[in-house]
Structures are given as structure tokens and as C-alpha cells.
Amino acid sequence: MEFILDFLTRFATQLQSPTLGFLIGGAVLAALGSRLEVPDAIYKFIVFMLLMKIGLKGGMKIREADLGDMLLPALFAVLIGVIIVLLGRYTLAILPKIRTEEGIATAGLFGAVSGSTLAAAMAVMDAEGLTYEAWAPALYPFMDIPALVLAIVMANVYLTKRKGDAGTRVKIWPIVTDSLRGSALSALLLGIALGLLTRPDFVYDSFYEPLFRGLLSVLMLVMGMEAYARVNELRKVAHWYAVYGAVAPLVHGLIAFGLGYIAHVTTGFSPGGVVLLSVLAASSSDISGPPTLRAGIPSANPSAYIGASTALGTPVAIAIGIPLFIGLAQVVFASA
Amino acid sequence: MEFILDFLTRFATQLQSPTLGFLIGGAVLAALGSRLEVPDAIYKFIVFMLLMKIGLKGGMKIREADLGDMLLPALFAVLIGVIIVLLGRYTLAILPKIRTEEGIATAGLFGAVSGSTLAAAMAVMDAEGLTYEAWAPALYPFMDIPALVLAIVMANVYLTKRKGDAGTRVKIWPIVTDSLRGSALSALLLGIALGLLTRPDFVYDSFYEPLFRGLLSVLMLVMGMEAYARVNELRKVAHWYAVYGAVAPLVHGLIAFGLGYIAHVTTGFSPGGVVLLSVLAASSSDISGPPTLRAGIPSANPSAYIGASTALGTPVAIAIGIPLFIGLAQVVFASA
Amino acid sequence: MEFILDFLTRFATQLQSPTLGFLIGGAVLAALGSRLEVPDAIYKFIVFMLLMKIGLKGGMKIREADLGDMLLPALFAVLIGVIIVLLGRYTLAILPKIRTEEGIATAGLFGAVSGSTLAAAMAVMDAEGLTYEAWAPALYPFMDIPALVLAIVMANVYLTKRKGDAGTRVKIWPIVTDSLRGSALSALLLGIALGLLTRPDFVYDSFYEPLFRGLLSVLMLVMGMEAYARVNELRKVAHWYAVYGAVAPLVHGLIAFGLGYIAHVTTGFSPGGVVLLSVLAASSSDISGPPTLRAGIPSANPSAYIGASTALGTPVAIAIGIPLFIGLAQVVFASA
Amino acid sequence: MIRQAIKLTIVTERLLLKEIIRVIEAAGASGYTVTPASGKGSKNLRSSGDPMVSDTYANVRIEVITTEPEMSERIANEIGEKFFENFSGIIYRDQVEVLRAHWL
Amino acid sequence: MIRQAIKLTIVTERLLLKEIIRVIEAAGASGYTVTPASGKGSKNLRSSGDPMVSDTYANVRIEVITTEPEMSERIANEIGEKFFENFSGIIYRDQVEVLRAHWL
Amino acid sequence: MIRQAIKLTIVTERLLLKEIIRVIEAAGASGYTVTPASGKGSKNLRSSGDPMVSDTYANVRIEVITTEPEMSERIANEIGEKFFENFSGIIYRDQVEVLRAHWL
Ligand SMILES: Nc1ncnc2c1ncn2[C@@H]1O[C@H](COP(=O)(O)O)[C@@H](O)[C@H]1O
Ligand SMILES: Nc1ncnc2c1ncn2[C@@H]1O[C@H](COP(=O)(O)O)[C@@H](O)[C@H]1O
Ligand SMILES: Nc1ncnc2c1ncn2[C@@H]1O[C@H](COP(=O)(O)O)[C@@H](O)[C@H]1O
Ligand code: NA
Ligand code: NA
Ligand code: NA
């Protein structure tokens, strides 16, 4: 009871956070038919800047970190990516009116990770003074890649079986490299490498760090406009996608929270780390995931998975997921 | 006499302000045939950033303000928008060689407001320590929309009468919403809403505020290049447009100064507010106005009104108008 | 011996500088086939920002400087531009399998100056506290323009002679104005003018200066990606271009270092100034040079000169040249 | 498989894009393709206050492929009458052979 | 000098550009031209998660000029079979007269 | 109303745009349309130092519609002779029916 009250207060405060404000503002503008536009070049550059910032910081801090601590959370990240896809495969994908391969693709997208949702969570946590392990953002690929790979493999196995020919096997390595080559993961990993191997402190402190929050606010505006624009796409596909888009982020986040809690108890994974793991799980890929899935499961209609993710999954993860997991952490770890 | 000397000194100082310097520099580069180019995506993003900054600040401050004070200035803003259009209708538009509907369209554009001129004025005033009411920038739409609506209505009434059919009535509401949907007003109003409803202080202080002056300098560069490029367009239309473009900004600004003075005396409207109101009046719309007019008065040749505004109106408003109104304020309100 | 050890240490440190790190990172990403992309609009804007920053600073400082001091270094800059072209004309351009006019064009490009390499050097020197005369960056056009003009004139004289008709003379003035109109030189010169004539201190301190290092890091990333992409182009042309691209920057830099040393002894040109002069010499134009050469020597295959410059010349100038010249300065001028 | 069709091309001010698409869809066309364009003609109005100095494409080029010749005429007439008194634009058509299309 | 040729035009999702170029080059075409495009058809899949709200051109328009008519058919068939079951796209061709080309 | 015309298309390096427009205007054409393009041919020179790794369109595609067939040939010859020894480019033409144009 108290927890719910607490969450509602937190949620109300969260509504005043500019992150969420810009997201909602974007959706409202789009709904009102505003001609305001953030040019594509700016959008792409902002995504680069945010992931580079996250990567640099991670890389700079990892130097001092004990990477042994990362082992269990990284394993859990992989596990969560796998669980999300399997869960989607045996719930969403078996529902009536859902084409199995489209259900699997959607689960893959929700298992993958959104750099912008991650950035939004980090901004909120920084504002609240909730700290996490330096390497926590580096869990990103550990969840992202297995989810995409598994979804593509399962969908192709399914399609091959249906066709009855047991011929073509799906190659895993190309899917992995394709994921790694995506612009989001490339920027993140380059940032980590540069943070680790060079001394980017000055450029980080004078450029990437101070611009982070502001650029994030512009990105949230775009994602709000985008969410509204995609609602129509979502309308054209089975209603179950909407249900999944609204519920899955929270379910995935809570599963991750549970696993994170185990890591907390066994290896001292920080409360902030647990929250970040939950956000990674709750988020659904918006930049690199869709083209990878499109190439890997070409017969799945992208309107289904992109609609579910952009119109509902991401707003839910940001607006409800982030405050929920932070609130949960404060309740659960306060007593601990 | 002393005032004129004073103004000339101020004007000379103003010439050293980077705002004006970049404007003139842009025109010079264009005249010399430089291939320097500010990409369209950057231009659009800068306009967004400046208006969002102005809006956020306004919104954050309005919370503490007594909005009752805004009533009279807002009323005057509407009045000024209307006066400018009527003045243009019965001077410029009745001149020989001027097609009436084009004269009216031009008056509409000069009645509307330029976000970049407003930003330039705010930068100069901040540098000079001249303060104004938090809500003063929010007077923007109160002048902008009535001017555009009135111009479009008058032009269409005129055209309908000339054709002799008293059939089609002009609908006002679509013009209003079209104005509000323009990218400039959208950004400004979104900024105000977010400033009012969320707590964007951190993102404002770390991003929108520090980048303001610099982005403005780049925008001034673009506007200078643009002014030069449009001179040719201006040459192709009647000379009266050039006269109007050079004189109207100052006349409009002085009318606004007079009304602002009344507001100062009766309700304590600040000297800075009076200057800002004058700048709003002196400015002519460069971003949202043209497409709205084009759609609303399709038979008016845009070369006339855009040429008069971009090639002459805006440079005059920035280079002469801003220092003039500030100087005037210092003379007039020093004694008060 | 000690110097070599010293240089190697310095070079190793330099490898950790983010400037070089981003350059190498870009090349690695491109080699791995990453889809990361810095939009063209962003690239153009960054180049503008860096050169405007360099120009503004130069202009602001020149006010206080004794321009008489600039005379000899400026003369040397012209001389270096000329030497580089002559050297290329009588080494590279006479080699077998090298088309003479393409060899000359390449020498012209290497005699011209790269704004990004200059910016990279200034960032490293600022970090090391190595100062230079305020007007040193303004030596840019004194080397750039003579090199391009001479290369174009020599190539055309050669081509005309070969054809046997002594008819068409090459006009020099159009090449000069074309160089000055290029986006890089335009931005630099505009910056100098504004720094000199206006008071841009606030906008410089709040915008151009703080963003400098960060934007440079992004530009280095682009140049790294670009270098890798151009390797293929380089492969298609004679091997001598690769040799030239690798060796010429260092040779040119050392010649400039020698001349700079003379200026140091005779007129007190600062050690930092000598380094900057060497970097100007070592750099090869990446933005304005290629189109000017293309227009001036249309029959020269641009793959030859752009490949040699972008794939090898610029990386060598930045990665080896900058630390080499700084190290040399510390050895040479420490004793002085 | 191979199908004779008319390709109708409209080059006009970007400002009109939305309204022109409305006309095309109302005419029942099976699709359209839009590319950015700039250009010069004899009317040559500037449609917007967008900076001319940057690399903006102020026109659009819209192609409609249709197997019904009179549909192309209908679209051209409606657009011509509705917009071309006051806006810049040109409309032309030619014959193409459609090899693949999802609406075939 | 003047040479009759076939101009094959493919409008499809940008996502496929690289692979389609591979098909074109494998077929032995002497070149191709790509322009950005957007549009609507009857399949209308969104190919990417790229923002719709910005001014993105999500399609490409690829033209291949060839003097061998059956090459155009070969390319069209291969692209059609390989991609158009799952991706948006249209392919058409017409006759042009090549006045200048470096491969003539 | 409907008028037979020639559509001349020039695809070449963006660098040449200004000079080619000068040729077109000097030839007395009533207008032209420019679209951004990229591509590959057999000469394939890179015209500029512009980054290849970003999404630049280094070519332009210029269309000139004219009712005088020999004007198209004149423009093609002049451009071909003046530029195509050293620059990449292709020129072709076909027949179109102009339905609306301000110069008709
Ligand atoms: N003769 C022509 N050839 C090619 N494009 C043309 C021609 N005339 C007009 N256009 C295009 O149509 C647009 C509007 O033409 P106009 O209405 O004549 O100003 C121009 O901006 C060009 O893009
Ligand atoms: N009738 C048409 N006319 C012009 N372009 C078309 C037409 N049909 C389809 N297209 C283009 O081909 C793309 C794919 O079409 P579709 O596969 O039918 O969705 C669309 O986005 C359009 O760009
Ligand atoms: N066969 C072709 N089909 C279509 N476009 C071509 C063809 N050949 C050349 N082009 C275009 O013309 C440009 C220059 O060709 P080239 O001069 O052969 O290098 C290329 O970049 C292409 O855009
Ligand atoms: Na996820
Ligand atoms: Na006004
Ligand atoms: Na050089």
C-alpha cells in the first residue's frame, strides 16, 4: 500500500522531469499536427553523441573496475535476452491472428536494447543520485545480441519447418556481426574502447558530458513525435501487439529486477545496477534492431514489431518503467 | 540633439556586437560569392533551439509572475498586429504598381513576428543588463497570429469583391491553427508549456542557455547571407517594396514603443518590456509567416513580401531597430 | 638517441590523446564495416565551427599583436608553399607511371593546408601548454593559396607545352579568388575579421571555445573513416602516390621547421609558432583544395591526389607529424 | 507479366506536396513516388521563406504510374486547375513497361 | 553516336540498396544512378526504425541504362524474385536515346 | 493542349552544376529540374574531397524539357565536349507529352 503511494508520488514527480515532459510534448505536438521537425541529420548525431558519452564514461571507469564483478550480471543479461524471446515465442507468437514469425520478431525487438531509453534512465538516476557500477551500461550488447540472434534463428527454424524442407540452416555469426555493426552499438563500443585506451577526460568533461542532458531532451521530443506517428501503424495490426507493447516492458523489467536482486545478494551488484539491468530489459530497440530483424526475418511485417515498440513499448518503458524500477529499488534495498 | 549623438554612439557600439557582426559578415560573404554554407538541417535545428530556449525561460518565469500584468501588453500586442496590417493596407497596398493583395500580404508579414530578431534583441538586452517581464517573449503569438489572420482575410475579401462574387467566406480558425502549427510558434509554445509544467532548470542551464548566444551568431550569419541573396528578388518587384522594407520596421517599432509607454505608465510595464514589444513590432516573420501567407493568399507573389522582409526588413530591424529602441528607452525612462 | 627515445615516449603518449584515438577509431570502424555515419550536415557544420573558432581567436588576439612580427613567417609560409610544389614537380611528377599533371596536382594539394589538421595540432599544443603567436593560424592562406596557384599554373603550362600550342595563358586571379571563396578559408577569414572588428569575446567563450575539442573529436572520427574508405582509391593509382603520401608530410614539416627556426633566431618567432608552421606544411588540404584543383587541372585524376592526401597524408601528419614537431621543438628550443 | 502503363510526372513546389498527394489518392492511383528537386521555369515563385543559401530542395518531383491513361489526364487537370494559376509547376507523361509491381 | 537503350527503373526500400547494386553489377551493367525517394504503394512496408516524423527518404530510385534489352529483364527478374515477396518495390522500363556515355 | 516534347537528362558530377546550368540557359531552354543523385559508371571520378562515408549525393541529375529536338542535341554536344573528357557523366533523352507548363 505504502509502496503504491510512494510509486504514485514518484511517478507524479517523474512527470515533471523534463525527460518525460519532452517525450509527452513531442507526442502532443504530433497529435496537434505541428510542422515542427527535428532534421534527420540532427537525430542521427544526437544518438551518436549519447551513446558515445555513455561508452566513454563506461570505458574510463572500467579501467578502475574489477571486471570479475561483471561476470554474473553479464550472464544474467544474456539470460534475460533469451528469456524475453522465449516468453514472447510461447505467449504472443501463439496467439490467434498473430503470424508466428512476426510474434517472434516482436519478442526479439523487445529483448534487444534501446540506447535512448538507457540514456533517459541514466539521466534520471544521475539526478536522483542513484549510482551504479561503471560497467553496467556495457551490459547492453550482452542482452541485445543474444535476443536478436535467438529471435532470428527461431523464426527461421519455424519457417523452414513449416515449408517442410530441412535444408537451409541459419548462420549465427552474420547476425552477430550485423548487430555489432549497427550505428548504436558501434558508437557505444567505440566509446568504451576510447575511454579504456585513451585519455578522453578533457573532451568528455567539456563536450560529451555537458551536452548529454540537453541532447537527450531533444531526442525525447523526437521519440514522442515518433510514438504518435506510429500509433496508426499499430492500429493496422492485431490488437495483441498493443497489449504486448504495453505489458511486456514492465514484465521484462521485473524479471530482470529479480535476477538483478540475486546478483545483488550473491556478488554485491549495486541497487543502481539492478535498476539499469531492469531498464535494459524493459527497453526495446529503436535504432539497430529493426533493420537487423528486417534482414533476418524478411517475411515478418515490420509494422507489427516497430509499431508495438515505438508507439507503446518505449513510452511505457520510459514513463512507467524507469520510475517503477527506481521506486522498487528504494523499497527493496532500503531494508537490505 | 544629445539623443541623436547618444544613438549614434550606441549604434557604433552595436556595430561591434557580434550579433550584428555576423549578420553583416554573412551578407559580405554572399556578396563575394563565398561557397560557405550552413546546412539546412543545422539552420532548422538552430531555430528550434533558440525558440525552445526563449520558451523554456518564459515558462519557468511565468510561474512566479502575476499574469494579470500581462493583460494590457497582450492587448496592445494584438492591437499593434492589427494596426500594422491596416497601415500597410492603406499605404503600401494602394500605391501605383502595387497589386493590392501583395501589398496586404507584405503588411501581414511585417505584422507577424520573427523569432530570430526577437532572439537577437534578447541577446543584446541581456548583454546590456536591460531586464523585462518574464512573460514578455510570450507576447509573440498575440501579435503574430492576428496580423496574419487579418491580412489573409482582408486580401481575400478584396479579391472576392473584385471578382464580384460574394460567395466564399474566409474561414479564420484554419488560419489560426495553421499559424500555431508552424515550426517557430510550435517550438516557442512547447517551450513555454514545458517551462511551466516541468522542472527543466537543469537542462535549461546546461544546454539551452549556454548555447543560445553562439547558435544565434550562426543564425545571424545565415540571415546575412540570405538577405543578400534576396536582394535580387526585391529588385524584380516594385520599388515601393524596398521603401516599405526599410521604413516600416522603424515606424512599427515606434508605434509599439508609444503603446508600450502607455502600458508603462498605467500598469508599470517595464522599460525592457517596452523595448521587446517594439522589437516584436519591428520584426517581420521569416520562418512561419511566408508559408502561411502563401497558402492563404496564393495569388500574391511571394517575391514581393519575402524580398521586402528578408532583404531589408530584418536587417533594418536588427541593425537599426534594436539599438534605436534601447537608446530611446534609456532616454525616455531615465527621467521617469 | 635520447631524442628518439623521447620521441617514442611522446608518440606513445600521443596515441592516448583522444584526437588520435578518434582518428584511429574511425578507421577501425570503417574497416570493420560499421554502419555508423556522421551526417554530411554535421560534418560541414563542424568544419565551419572549428575554423570560425580559430579565426575568431586569431582576430581577437591580432588586435594586440605587433603585425610586423608576422612579416617574415608569412613570407616563409609563401616560400614553403612554393617549395612543396616545386619539390613535388621535380620528384613525384617525373617518376615513371606518374602522369605529370597528376603529380603536380598532388604536390599542390600537399602544399595547401588542412584546417582539421591545424585544429588537431592546436588542441594538442593547448593541452601541452605550448603557446604560439596569436596570428600564427593566420599563416594558413599564405601557404595555401600560393601552393594551389603555382600547381595549377605549372600543370597548365606543362599541358599547353605538350600540346604544342602556346595559346591560352593561365589566369592567376580567378584561382586566388576561387581559393578564398572555399568554405574553409571563408570561415577562417570571416572569423579573423569578426575577431578583429567586433567584440565576440562572450560568444567565443561561451560557444566556440568550449565546443572546440569535442567537435574536433567527431571530425577526427570522420577523417579516420574517410582515410580507410580512400585506401581503395589509392590502391588503384601508382604506388608512388602511397610513398609520397607517407613521406611528404614529414619532409615538408621538417623544411618548415628549418625555416621557422631561422625566423626564431632572427625575429624571435616562438617555438610554438615554429611547430604550427611545420604542421601547416605537413598538412594537406582536405576540404577546399580538391575542388579548386579539379577545376584548375581537370585532366588530373582526383583519385591520385585525394587518395594520397586523405588515406595517408593526413593520418601521417596528425599521428606522426604533430608529436614529432612538438618533440623536436622541445629538444631544439630547450637548449636555446 | 509485362504491362504497358503511363508514368505521369509532376514537378512543383514542395509546399503543395500534401495536397497533391490527396488529389492523387482521391483519383484512385495505386501509388506514387516522390523525389526532392529544385529547378527553374518561367513562373518561378519562391514558395517559402526557407533559406536559399543552403542546399534546400524547394521542389518535389512526383511520379504516378497508372494503367489507365485517362486517370493521368484527370490528375493532371485537377492539379493544373487547382494550383497552377498561382504556383510553379510542370506536368508531363510518358509510356513505360511495368515489369514488377505489387498492384499488378 | 546516338544509341538506342533501355532504361530500367527500380523503386524500392533503401535498406536493399547494397544488395540490389550487387545484382546490377553481377548482371554486367555499365553503370547505375541512385536518387533518394519516398512514396506509397500497395505493400508499403516500413523498412527501418528511422523516424517518420523527420524528412527521411526511405526509398531509393535506381536507374540502369543498358543497350541489351534482355539484361534489363534479367535484372528485373532477379530482383523481383529475390526481394519483392517480402519488400516493397516496383520495376519498370522505357526506351531512351543515349547521346553521350563513357561506356559507348 | 498536349504537346510533344523531348526530355533531355544529364547525370554528372555536382561540381559542374553551375556551369551546366549556364549552358542550358544560354541554349534558351525554358527551364530545368535538378535532383540529387549518386551512382557509378565507367569513368567514375570522385569530384570532391567530400566525405564518402557520409550519405552525400555527389552527382546531380538535370532534366531539360524542350519542344525543339535540335536544342536537346545542341545542349548535349556542348556539355559533352566541354566537360566529358575530364568529368564523369551520361546524357540521354526520350519523348514526353507535356500536359501543363507555364511556358506553353
Ligand atoms: N523546360 C523545363 N524542363 C525541365 N523542368 C522544368 C521546365 N520548366 C519548368 N520546369 C520545372 O518546373 C518548375 C516550375 O516551373 P514554372 O512553373 O515554369 O516556374 C521549375 O522549378 C522546374 O523544376
Ligand atoms: N503506381 C505507382 N506509381 C509510382 N510509384 C509507385 C507506384 N506504386 C508503387 N510505387 C513506388 O514503389 C514503392 C513500393 O511500392 P509497393 O511495393 O507497392 O508498396 C512505393 O513506396 C512507391 O515509391
Ligand atoms: N549505364 C548507366 N546507367 C545509369 N546511370 C549511369 C550509367 N552509366 C553511368 N551512369 C551515371 O553517370 C555517372 C557518370 O558515369 P561515368 O562517366 O561513366 O563514370 C555515374 O556516376 C552514374 O550516375
Ligand atoms: Na530489452
Ligand atoms: Na512585426
Ligand atoms: Na601543406
pLDDT of residue A165: 66
Q: Sign of torsion, CA F19 F24 F26 F31?
A: negative
Digitized pLDDT (tens) for each residue of chain B, 336 residues in all: 677 787 788 777 777 788 899 999 999 999 999 999 999 999 999 999 999 999 999 999 888 888 788 999 999 999 999 999 999 999 998 999 899 999 999 999 999 999 999 999 999 999 889 999 989 999 999 999 999 999 999 999 999 888 876 666 778 888 889 889 999 999 999 999 999 999 999 999 999 999 999 999 999 999 999 999 988 878 888 899 999 999 999 999 999 999 999 999 999 999 999 999 999 999 999 888 998 999 899 999 888 899 999 999 999 999 999 999 999 998 899 864
pLDDT of residue C88: 96
Nearest residue to C249 (alpha-carbon basis) of C292, C202, C193, C309 = C309
Inter-CA distances, C208 with A236, B1, C40, Å: 48, 40, 20
Q: Provide the CA B313 distance to its chain's centre, in angstroms.
A: 9
How buried is C217 (Cβ within 10 angstroms: 0-12 exposed, 13-18 middle, 19+ buried)? Answer: buried
Whose cell is 584543383? That residue is C293
Nearest residue to F14 (alpha-carbon basis) of F47, F51, F52, F53 = F47
Q: Do F13 and F59 touch, CB atoms closer than 8 A?
A: yes
pLDDT of residue B63: 82
Sequence-distant contacts of B299-303: CB under 8 A, at least 24 apart: B299/B101, B299/B159, B299/D85, B299/D86, B300/B99, B300/B101, B300/B102, B300/B104, B300/B105, B300/B155, B301/B99, B301/B102, B301/B237, B301/D45, B302/D45, B302/D46, B302/D47, B302/D48, B303/B233, B303/B234, B303/B236, B303/B237, B303/D45, B303/D46
Radius of gyration of chain D (CA): 14
Q: Kindly state the helix (H) or strand (E) to which residue E6 belongs, with its residue range.
A: strand E3-13
Tens digits of per-residue pLDDT, C9-67? Answer: 877 777 778 889 999 999 999 999 999 999 999 999 999 999 999 999 999 988 888 87
Is it the case that residue A167 has pLDDT exceeding 70?
no
Residues 6 or more apart whose CB falls under 8 angstroms from that of A10 comprise A323, A326, A327
Q: Binning pLDDT at 50, 70 and 90, where does residue A234 land?
A: confident
| Residue B241, C-alpha cell as written in the block | 517594396
User: Searching chain C, which residue's CA lies closest to the CA of residue B23?
Assistant: C194
Is it the case that residue F16 has pLDDT exceeding 80?
yes
Of A163 and D2, the structure prediction assigns the larger pLDDT to D2
Nearest residue to B221 (alpha-carbon basis) of B31, B26, B18 = B26
The full set of domain ranges for chain C reads 2-335
Rounded CA-CA distance B52/D77 in Å is 43
How buried is C254 (Cβ within 10 angstroms: 0-12 exposed, 13-18 middle, 19+ buried)? Answer: middle
With contacts defined as CB-CB under 8 Å, which chain C residues touch A39? 41
DSSP secondary structure of C82-101: HHHHHHHHHTGGGSTT--HH
Q: Do F53 and D57 touch, CB atoms closer than 8 A?
A: no
Stretch A282-299: mean pLDDT: 90
pLDDT of residue D48: 63
pLDDT of residue C29: 96
Phi-psi region of A271 (alpha: psi -120 to 50; beta: other; left: phi over 0): alpha
Q: Do C146 and C82 touch, CB atoms closer than 8 A?
A: yes
How buried is A206 (Cβ within 10 angstroms: 0-12 exposed, 13-18 middle, 19+ buried)? Answer: middle
Between chain F and chain B, are at least 3 CB pairs below 8 A? Answer: no
Q: Mean pLDDT in chain C? A: 91
Of F7, F32, F36, nearest to D36 by CB-CB distance is F36
Strands (DSSP E) found in chain A: none
Is it the case that residue E55 has pLDDT exceeding 60?
no
Of B37, B43, B302, nearest to D47 by CB-CB distance is B302
Residue burial C127-166, b: 16+ Cβ < 10 Å; e: rest:
ebebebbbbbbbbbbbbbbbbbbbbbbbbbebbeeeeeee
Domains of chain F: 2-48+56-99 (3.30.70.120)
Tens digits of per-residue pLDDT, C177-196? Answer: 988 999 999 999 999 999 99
Q: Binning pLDDT at 50, 70 and 90, where does residue D72 land?
A: very high
Rounded CA-CA distance E34/C265 in Å is 58
Rounded CA-CA distance C82/C104 in Å is 12
Helix (H, G, I), strand (E, B) or coil at A18: helix
Rounded CA-CA distance A286/A289 in Å is 6
Question: Nearest-CA distance from B174 to chain D in Å?
Answer: 15
Pocket test for ligand 3, best of F10, F84, F88, F93 (most atoms within 8 A of CB): F88
C282 CA distance to ligand 6 centroid (A)?
5
pLDDT of residue B170: 76
Is it the case that residue D55 has pLDDT exceeding 70?
no
Stretch A260-286: mean pLDDT: 96
- CB of D16 within 6 A of ligand 1: the answer is no
pLDDT of residue A23: 94
Relative to the alpha carbon of A88, which ligand is closest? Answer: 4
Whose cell is 601528419? That residue is C317
Question: Nearest-CA distance from F16 to chain C in Å?
Answer: 9
Rounded CA-CA distance C17/C59 in Å is 28
Ligand 3 pocket by C-beta < 6 Å: which residues? E 29-33, 63-65, 101-103; F 11, 37, 39-44, 59, 88-90
Tens digits of per-residue pLDDT, C296-330? Answer: 998 998 888 999 999 999 999 999 999 999 989 98
B9 CA distance to ligand 5 centroid (A)?
26
Residue E61 pairs with which residues in a beta bridge?
Answer: E11, E35
Of D14 and B111, the structure prediction assigns the larger pLDDT to B111
Tens digits of per-residue pLDDT, C148-168? Answer: 999 999 999 999 888 776 666
Rounded CA-CA distance A279/A250 in Å is 9
CB-based contact, B37 to chain D, within 8 Å: yes
CB contact under 8 A, E45 and A302: yes
pLDDT of residue E49: 64
Q: Kindly state the helix (H) or strand (E) to which residue F61 belongs, with its residue range.
A: strand F59-66
User: Which range (A104-113, D8-17, D48-57, F85-94) has the least confidence?
Assistant: D48-57
Ligand 2 pocket by C-beta < 6 Å: which residues? D 29-33, 63-65, 101-103; E 11, 37, 39-44, 59, 88-90
Q: Do E5 and E93 touch, CB atoms closer than 8 A?
A: no
Residue C10 pairs with which residues in a beta bridge?
Answer: none
Rounded CA-CA distance D57/F35 in Å is 8
| Residue F77, C-alpha cell as written in the block | 554536344
CB contact under 8 A, B217 and C198: no
With contacts defined as CB-CB under 8 Å, which chain A residues touch B194? 18, 21-22, 25
pLDDT of residue F47: 54
Nearest residue to A128 (alpha-carbon basis) of B202, B57, B196, B209 = B202
Relative to the alpha carbon of F35, which ligand is closest? Answer: 1
CB-based contact, D84 to chain B, within 8 Å: no
pLDDT of residue C172: 86
ipTM: 0.94
CB atoms under 10 Å from CB of C334, counted, come to 8
Q: Kindly state the helix (H) or strand (E) to which residue B194 belongs, with its residue range.
A: helix B183-197
DSSP A35: -
Nearest residue to B240 (alpha-carbon basis) of B98, B118, B115 = B98
**Helices B172-181 and B289-296: angle between axes, nearest 10 degrees:** 150
Rounded CA-CA distance A198/C21 in Å is 6
Tens digits of per-residue pLDDT, F20-66? Answer: 999 999 999 999 999 999 999 987 665 566 666 565 788 999 999 99
Tens digits of per-residue pLDDT, A183-228? Answer: 999 999 999 999 999 999 999 999 999 999 999 999 999 999 999 9
Is it the case that residue F67 has pLDDT exceeding 60?
yes
Q: Do A286 and A112 touch, CB atoms closer than 8 A?
A: no
Whose cell is 480558425? That residue is B173
Is it the case that residue F99 has pLDDT exceeding 90?
yes
Q: Do A132 and A273 touch, CB atoms closer than 8 A?
A: yes
Q: Kindly state the helix (H) or strand (E) to which residue C259 belongs, with its residue range.
A: helix C239-267
Chains in contact with chain B (at least 3 beta-carbon pairs closer than 8 A)? A, C, D
Tens digits of per-residue pLDDT, A24-58? Answer: 999 999 999 999 999 999 999 999 999 999 999 99
Q: Do B295 and B224 touch, CB atoms closer than 8 A?
A: no
Three-state SS string over C281-330 comes to HHCCCCCCHHHHHHHHCCCCCHHHHHHHHHHHHHHHHHHHHHHHHHHHHH
Tens digits of per-residue pLDDT, E14-40? Answer: 889 999 999 999 999 999 999 999 999
Percent of chain C with pLDDT over 70: 98
Rounded CA-CA distance C139/C120 in Å is 16
C266 CA distance to ligand 5 centroid (A)?
60
Is it the case that residue A265 has pLDDT exceeding 90?
yes
Q: What angle do CA F58, F62, F64 make, to 5 degrees?
A: 175
Whose cell is 541554349? That residue is F27
DSSP B96: T
- Mutation target among A14, A35, A50 for the B interface, most CBs of B within 10 A: A35
pLDDT of residue F36: 93
With contacts defined as CB-CB under 8 Å, which chain E residues touch D31? 39-42, 90
CB-based contact, E49 to chain A, within 8 Å: yes
CA nearest ligand 1 atom 16, residue? D41
Q: Mean pLDDT in chain A? A: 91
Q: Sign of torsion, CA F33 F37 F43 F47?
A: positive
Rounded CA-CA distance B20/B219 in Å is 11
Is it the case that residue F85 has pLDDT exceeding 70?
yes
Of C128 and E62, the structure prediction assigns the larger pLDDT to E62
pLDDT of residue A233: 79
Is it the case that residue E45 has pLDDT exceeding 70?
no
Residues 6 or more apart whose CB falls under 8 angstroms from that of A66 comprise none
Inter-CA distances, C182 with A199, C175, C296, D91, Å: 34, 11, 14, 38
Residue C196 pairs with which residues in a beta bridge?
Answer: none
pLDDT of residue F51: 66
pLDDT of residue F55: 55
Inter-CA distances, A12 with B255, B304, F65, Å: 46, 51, 62
Q: What topology does CATH give the domain C2-335?
A: Na+/H+ antiporter like fold (1.20.1530)
pLDDT of residue D31: 95
pLDDT of residue D56: 74
Rounded CA-CA distance F101/F104 in Å is 5
Rounded CA-CA distance F89/E104 in Å is 12
